[in-house]
Structure 1
Amino acid sequence: MASERQMESGKPVIPVGILYSVSGEYGVIGREMLNGIMMSIEQVNASPEFDFTLAPIVRDPGGVLDRYHDHCHDLLYRHGVKHIVGCYTSASRKVILPLIEGANALLWHSARYEGFESSNNVIYLGAAPNQHVLPMLAWLLREHPGDIYHVGSNYVWSWEIDRITGEALAATGHRLTASRLVNLGDTAVEGIIRDIAERRPKVVLVTLVGQSAYRFYHAWREAAEHDPYLASDTAIKLSLTLCEAEVSLVGKAALEGYLVSSAWFQTVRNDANDRFLEQYRTRFGDAGSPSVDSVAAWTAGQFLARAVQRCGGEQVEAVRAAAWRDELDGPAGRVRIDPDNNHAWLTPRLARCHEGRLDVFWEGDAPIKPDPWLTWVDLDALGPGAS
């Protein structure tokens, strides 16, 4: 191995930066992501398959963008880290991306996101828009065609989802009737709930994150006690952010009936997922509830370790090329990294929240090639009658 760092075991030690906010605005998700990568690293270090040890250097930016920058700089230039696993929001990723590219390091980004990015220095393990946004819209326009009311957090994630949704709807003769964005952390959502009740949209799309989302779910339920429309199943409620950990946090009553699009749910049925869930529960007990973000972070650790083993070192160019040649049968099914754009091939899935579970009711036949720029998507094909 290229690294000169050694453990008592004699194995070379490769430092890995971990940059997740386990406190602050979206700390619940950050904790699940940290759990995923830490379990992955522990499994790698315990396996005789690998002739090195991964040494995590964990930092918690607390959801503060300036801290992401400072922690990333410290990891790169004080600790000499070449690989960082981290970031949940696109805002945090974009803050550290110039540092990552300037140091020629590799960011293993585990969150689903809005697309329209492809850096040579990022491996994107989360779903791109054609793997989670468009499958949801295609199903919706086949089964429940109509206009959409969008409420989201005011940053790049919701901006791009809003644009993609609007363009997809326009191609099928429908439209966004409203796009209401609130600042990150803002919990004054009662006015939006009242507006929804007055407009009575057929579909409500939620891309809120963190405390804003949690308050929205509760505010809807509180208002539903006095409004028959909000209490009924008339409005189809969709989420591109909701996950199992948040269902446990918010409570099942406020989330009953929500439809969620994601590349993984706990209710996915395959042997690898059964093993993952058993290992996760053994490791973390009742302290965690794995989400798609946990799985993506775990997958990042597996791809990183397998690539280092394959190429014999931690150099970014060699590790990236080795990752392109790998395929992993994991909890979310078969995953591979596309050499055209460094994004993962993933299988899209839809689930319905019922009695506190996100039950899968539709999934793609196979992993979809990532298209972060939506360069070959036919939006006209999303309408009724599309296959």
Structure 2
Amino acid sequence: MRPIGLTRSVEATLAVSIIRVPLGILISSDGPYSVVSRSMLCGALLAIDEVNSAAGNIRFEPTIGNPGGELSRYAALTTDMLAAGIQHVVGCYTSSSRKEIIPLFEKADTLLWYPSHYEGFETSANVIYTGAVANQHLLPLVDYSLTHLGPRAFGVGSNYIWAWENNRILREAIGPRGGTLLAERYFPVGCTDFGQVIEAILVARPSFVFNTLIGVSSYQFLRDLRAACVERGIDQPNDIPVVSCTLSEPELEAIGPNAIDGHITSSVYFSTLPTKANRRFVAAYADRFPDGPAVSADAEATYIAVRLLALALADAGATDAAAIKRVIGRQSIAAPQGDVSIDADTMHACLTPRIARSNAKGRFDILREASAPVRADPYLIRSSSRYGAVSVRPVLRVAS
């Protein structure tokens, strides 16, 4: 694609300075969590289009790999990409897939750009993390839930590290403040049979359900819980609210109209943010992908990853991991969510926490937001007293 505004003759004179960068995209556009993953792919492709059309000298040449949600396919596709000389790969949604391939990047000394929220307790010299960690999503959600919903939580999650670790953090965070995690129930990724656990929830009547299910499992659980509550005359959104750090706009569409509203989500991005940068992003995304899926926090994080990589490549004048790591800490972007930069000490992004509630239109009404980006604390070192010290966490203000 020719950069906008350049004639062929001008482009030819600049060709000597063009840096062509092979870029791996490793995202499951099929499988149990494909709704969110496809929005991530859209975010990456939109950023690639923008970089390749700009007047700068970076041109991405993408290679797209689709693991289909199968863990073994991530390693196989990564091996192929690295063997082909690709030094930068953007992708992975689940923590299990990320952990499966990190050793490959460390061995090759290349970079994985990981664009999804996750549970933290990890750093790697070969991973740059543009999604939120616990002090940017879960701990603000704990504050909100204990203040506005009550002290008794019930955990329901997919059976892998994302749910295990988040329930552990939740348990340790609410305990010092008088809260209780009544139960933890785990299900295989893709499971859609929740009758027994829903009955247990209705008996326990927790203050809130903490949902760490992913993909089709989450959608079916929310539909079934709502239906069971309606059958018993229970106002589920108000009497047994469901909170999470994952639910996003394309997933609301997948849930369907009968159970779409009233869910509380903690995230750093929602498509309803009233900023100029976000309006431009949402419009460009809709124009590029008119058939969806809807834009999401993970789509924005993937978009950010590609744009930050482009900035770092232009600054470094080189493509190897060592050169990019030397300059990544001085890159920043006016992202749709607000200013985003990478902390060179942890390779995690500084992001702006927010709390929102889903509505019947399939969007989110923002309830609380931090006044500025928050530095990632992947090991919760600064969130002391087993995560009970509110003063070290972002103070979210009521959104106007």
**Are 1:296 and 2:304 counterparts?**
no
Query: In structure 2, how many angstroms separate the alpha carbons of the residues matched to 1:306 and 1:365?
Result: 26
Match of 1:3 in 2: none
CA deviation string 1:259-294 (max 9, x = no partner): 000000001121111110111111111322000000
User: Counterpart of 2:182 in 1: which secondary structure?
Assistant: strand
TM-score by length of 1: 0.94
Match of 1:35 in 2: 42
Query: In structure 1, how many angstroms separate the alpha carbons of the residues matched to 2:312 and 2:231?
Result: 56
CA deviation string 1:67-87 (max 9, x = no partner): 00000000001x101000000
Letter in 1 for 2:304: T
User: Counterpart of 1:266 in 2: which secondary structure?
Assistant: coil
CA deviation string 1:172-210 (max 9, x = no partner): 121100101111111111111111111111111101001
Letter in 1 for 2:115: S
Equivalent in 260, 282, 285 of residue 277 of structure 1: 282
**Are 1:247 and 2:267 counterparts?**
no
CA deviation string 1:299-355 (max 9, x = no partner): 001000010001101011111222111111110101010011000000000110111
Query: In structure 2, how many angstroms separate the alpha carbons of the residues matched to 1:381 and 1:228?
Result: 39
User: Counterpart of 1:25 in 2: which secondary structure?
Assistant: coil
Query: In structure 1, how many angstroms separate the alpha carbons of the residues matched to 2:144 and 2:35?
Result: 29
Pair 223,34 (structure 1): closer, same or farther in 2 beyond 3 Å: same
**8 A Cα contact 2:174 2:388, kept in partner:** no
**Are 1:360 and 2:362 counterparts?**
no
**8 A Cα contact 1:133 1:261, kept in partner:** yes
User: Counterpart of 2:318 in 1: which secondary structure?
Assistant: coil
Match of 1:209 in 2: 214
Match of 2:4 in 1: none
Equivalent in 52, 59, 62 of residue 65 of structure 2: 59
Residues 1-387 of structure 1 aligned to structure 2 (within 5 Å): 11-48=18-55, 50-77=56-83, 79-229=84-234, 231=236, 233-355=238-360, 356-378=362-384, 379-382=387-390
Query: In structure 2, how many angstroms separate the alpha carbons of the residues matched to 1:336 and 1:41?
Result: 19
Deviation at 1:357, TM superposition (A): 1.4
**8 A Cα contact 1:106 1:122, kept in partner:** yes
TM-score by length of 2: 0.91
Letter in 2 for 1:338: D
Query: In structure 2, how many angstroms separate the alpha carbons of the residues matched to 1:284 and 1:167?
Result: 42
Query: In structure 2, how many angstroms separate the alpha carbons of the residues matched to 1:40 and 1:289?
Result: 16
Deviation at 1:382, TM superposition (A): 4.2
Deviation at 1:123, TM superposition (A): 0.4
Letter in 2 for 1:225: V
Percent identical across equivalent pairs?
39
Query: In structure 1, how many angstroms separate the alpha carbons of the residues matched to 2:57 and 2:324?
Result: 15
Deviation at 1:215, TM superposition (A): 1.0
Query: In structure 1, how many angstroms separate the alpha carbons of the residues matched to 2:19 and 2:331?
Result: 23
Letter in 1 for 2:20: V
Letter in 2 for 1:147: R
**8 A Cα contact 1:189 1:219, kept in partner:** yes
**8 A Cα contact 2:145 2:208, kept in partner:** no
Pair 231,143 (structure 1): closer, same or farther in 2 beyond 3 Å: closer
User: Counterpart of 2:358 in 1: which secondary structure?
Assistant: strand
Query: In structure 2, how many angstroms separate the alpha carbons of the residues matched to 1:210 and 1:93?
Result: 17
Query: In structure 2, how many angstroms separate the alpha carbons of the residues matched to 1:171 and 1:333?
Result: 33
Deviation at 1:236, TM superposition (A): 2.3
**8 A Cα contact 1:137 1:382, kept in partner:** no
Deviation at 1:219, TM superposition (A): 0.9
Aligned length: 377
Pair 193,382 (structure 1): closer, same or farther in 2 beyond 3 Å: farther
**8 A Cα contact 2:52 2:59, kept in partner:** yes
Letter in 2 for 1:360: I
Query: In structure 1, how many angstroms separate the alpha carbons of the residues matched to 2:263 and 2:68?
Result: 28
CA deviation string 1:89-147 (max 9, x = no partner): 00000000000110001000000000000001000000010000001111222223311
Query: In structure 1, how many angstroms separate the alpha carbons of the residues matched to 2:100 and 2:389?
Result: 36
Pair 318,168 (structure 1): closer, same or farther in 2 beyond 3 Å: same
User: Counterpart of 1:260 in 2: which secondary structure?
Assistant: strand
Pair 199,301 (structure 1): closer, same or farther in 2 beyond 3 Å: same
Unaligned runs of 5+ residues in structure 1 are: 1-6
Unaligned runs of 5+ residues in structure 2 are: 1-10, 396-400
